[in-house]
Structures are given as structure tokens and as C-alpha cells.
């Protein structure tokens, strides 16, 4: 199964989110095979979007969460609150959270533990800077990010974990890692994960790619076995672009059958 995640970031309000959710559902009509589809509205739109997708196969994801359950944390949202409005997945450690809001690997680890504790499926984002890519030490950086994020983590047999590889130099820049570069890193990530979770079921761990994914490059990425799905940013709020990504995933799944 391939996964397609649409991260709407801070681009659309409630009304636009409702329209976008409806448009996303329309892209699934008449398809024999569809990917595992997850959408990430802003906090204020979660409840309304949930009403739109309630009877569909589309899952609801939050863009962030606190590592605390409750308390005097102005502006924060807890995993329990997210569960109340039907959220099943949560983005953790997105590069924009790390870069703009100084989230560290330790914070990512605390959020990950809390998400799993409250039965949310985490989508943990990792990736190297352009400096690390050019210096050649990017695999070690990625390994350290994974080790820090997953420190002390144990997955129950029913739990799932997504790792989203999003090279910082390819996010919102229009640049995209070529397929060979993505395959190299994805295979490396899967090796690291197999060492951390020996004997775990294959379908519990999924490695996604995120970095200027759009309708033009989605098929080339998704047809690769080591790429379990894509995390789509800017293109996910452009319904025609997002439709193309979903179509690419569906075509790959049909070909695999």
C-alpha cells in the first residue's frame, strides 16, 4: 500500500479547508484502487474537515501537538484534544517546526512518546540541510535523528510509525532530490529501523518522501519499492496538483496488482 499525505500548513482557513476536503474526496470517486490518504488541516479546521471525511477512507492528521496532556501551556494542543475531534495521525518534527520554532530531537522524542501513548499514529519528519548534503555526512545526520527520535520507543503490535524523509534543501524550494538519491536514503532508513525494531512486522513501519512533491514527479517516486508514499506540501492545496499525485499513487497500485 502506498500512502499520500497532504500537509496544508497555514495556507487555508476553515471554509477553504472544507472545500479542499470535498475536492479531495471527489478525486477518489470511481477508482478501483486508492492509496492510504491522509490530510492535515490547520487546528481550527480539524472538526469541520472531520465532518466531510467521516464516512470515507481518508484519515485526519494534525500538523503538530504538545508533549503534555494538559496544563498551563498557552497555545498548545494535546493529543487527547486531537483524539476528541477524530484525529488519528500527527506530524512530529517537521523541518519548519525544527527550523522556525527550534524543536530539538529531544522534543521530537517526547512528542512521539506521547502520541503513541494516546494511540495516535506519528509521522516523524527527518532530513538533512544542504550543508550536510554537500559535505557528505548526511547519512550520519539522518541516523542520529532517527536514534534520537526513537530513543526509548517501543511499538505495540497494533501501532504504526511513519518516517518522512524531507531533505531541508528540497522543501518549498522547487528543488527535488532525484529518485536515486531518495532510494539511497530510504534504504538506509529502513536498515536503521530494522536494527532498532528487530522482528517488527513490515507494515508497521513506512518510509515516505517529502520535498517539493507534485503531480510531475509523484509517479517516478511512488513506483519505487523503497518509497512507501509521499508527504505533499504546497501541491496539496492545489486540488488539480493533488489529484495528479493521488492518480499517480493509484496507477502504481493498480500496476502492482
DSSP character string of 43-79: GGGHHHHHHHHTTSS-EEEES---SSSSSS-TT---H
Whether 88 and 62 have beta carbons less than 8 Å apart is answered as: no
In the predicted structure, residue 201 carries a pLDDT above the cut 90 = no
Work out the pLDDT band at 137, boundaries 50, 70, 90: confident
Task: Show which residues are catalytic.
Answer: 94, 166
Joined together, the cell numbers standing for residue 103 give: 524543536
In the predicted structure, residue 61 carries a pLDDT above the cut 70 = yes
Angle at 22 between CA 17 and CA 23, to 5 degrees: 95
Spatial neighbors of 67 by CB under 8 A, at least 6 apart, are 107, 110, 111, 113, 114
Phi, psi of 187 (to 5 degrees): -65, -35
- Residue range 70-75: mean pLDDT, rounded: 96
Q: What percent of the chain has pLDDT over 90?
A: 83
User: What is the pLDDT at residue 173?
Assistant: 63
Q: What percent of the chain has pLDDT over 70?
A: 98
Work out the pLDDT band at 257, boundaries 50, 70, 90: confident
Spatial neighbors of 13 by CB under 8 A, at least 6 apart, are 42, 44, 45
In the predicted structure, residue 140 carries a pLDDT above the cut 70 = yes
Structural domains in the chain, sorted by start: 3-256 (3.20.20.70)
User: What is the pLDDT at residue 172?
Assistant: 63
User: What is the pLDDT at residue 31?
Assistant: 87
Tell me the C-alpha distance between 152 and 109, whole Å.
9
Work out the pLDDT band at 143, boundaries 50, 70, 90: very high
Q: Taking the C-alpha atoms of 185, 191, 197 and 203 in order, what is their torsion angle to the nearest 10 degrees?
A: 70
User: What is the pLDDT at residue 112?
Assistant: 97
The least confident of 156-160, 189-193, 249-253 is 156-160
For the chain, the average pLDDT equals 93
Tell me the C-alpha distance between 29 and 42, whole Å.
25
Whether 193 and 163 have beta carbons less than 8 Å apart is answered as: yes
In the predicted structure, residue 174 carries a pLDDT above the cut 80 = no
User: What is the pLDDT at residue 184?
Assistant: 95
- Residue range 112-121: mean pLDDT, rounded: 96
- Residue range 116-134: mean pLDDT, rounded: 89
Joined together, the cell numbers standing for residue 163 give: 518516517
Work out the pLDDT band at 178, boundaries 50, 70, 90: confident
**Residue 225: strand, helix, or coil:** coil
In the predicted structure, residue 30 carries a pLDDT above the cut 90 = no
Of 134 and 211, more confident: 211
Tell me the C-alpha distance between 98 and 117, whole Å.
22
234-257 residues labelled b (16+ CB within 10 A) or e (exposed)? bbbbebebbbbbbbbbbbbbeeee
Global confidence as pTM:
0.94
Q: Whats the size of the chain, residue-wise?
A: 257
Tell me the C-alpha distance between 204 and 116, whole Å.
13
Whether 196 and 152 have beta carbons less than 8 Å apart is answered as: no
Whether 185 and 165 have beta carbons less than 8 Å apart is answered as: yes
Tell me the C-alpha distance between 197 and 201, whole Å.
9
Angle at 194 between CA 190 and CA 196, to 5 degrees: 115
Amino acid at each position: 500500500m502506498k500512502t499520500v499525505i497532504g500537509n496544508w500548513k497555514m495556507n487555508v482557513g476553515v471554509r477553504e479547508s472544507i472545500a479542499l476536503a470535498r475536492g479531495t474526496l471527489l478525486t477518489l470517486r470511481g477508482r478501483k484502487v486508492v492509496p492510504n490518504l491522509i490530510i492535515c488541516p490547520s487546528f481550527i479546521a480539524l472538526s469541520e474537515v472531520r465532518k466531510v471525511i467521516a464516512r470515507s477512507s481518508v484519515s485526519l492528521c494534525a500538523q503538530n501537538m504538545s508533549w503534555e496532556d494538559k496544563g498551563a501551556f498557552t497555545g498548545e494542543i494535546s493529543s487527547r484534544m486531537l483524539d476528541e475531534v477524530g484525529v488519528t495521525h500527527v506530524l512530529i518534527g517537521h523541518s519548519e517546526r525544527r527550523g522556525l520554532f527550534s524543536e530539538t530531537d529531544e522534543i521530537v522524542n517526547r512528542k512521539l512518546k506521547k502520541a503513541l501513548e494516546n494511540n495516535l499514529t506519528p509521522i516523524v519528519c527527518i532530513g538533512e540541510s544542504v550543508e550536510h548534503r554537500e559535505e557528505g555526512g548526511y547519512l550520519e545526520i539522518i541516523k542520529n535523528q532517527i536514534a534520537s527520535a526513537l530513543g526509548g520507543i517501543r511499538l505495540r503490535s497494533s501501532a504504526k510509525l511513519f518516517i518522512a524523509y524531507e531533505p531541508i534543501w528540497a522543501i518549498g524550494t522547487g528543488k527535488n532530490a532525484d529518485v536515486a538519491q531518495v532510494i539511497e536514503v530510504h534504504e538506509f532508513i529502513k536498515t536503521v529501523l530494522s536494527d532498532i525494531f528487530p522482528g517488527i512486522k513490515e507494515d508497521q513501519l513506512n518510509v515516505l518522501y517529502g520535498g517539493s512533491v507534485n503531480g510531475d514527479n509523484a509517479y517516478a517516486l511512488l513506483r519505487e519499492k523503497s518509497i512507501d508514499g509521499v508527504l505533499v506540501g504546497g501541491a496539496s492545496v492545489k486540488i488539480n496538483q493533488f489529484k495528479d499525485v493521488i492518480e499517480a499513487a493509484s496507477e502504481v497500485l493498480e500496476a502492482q496488482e
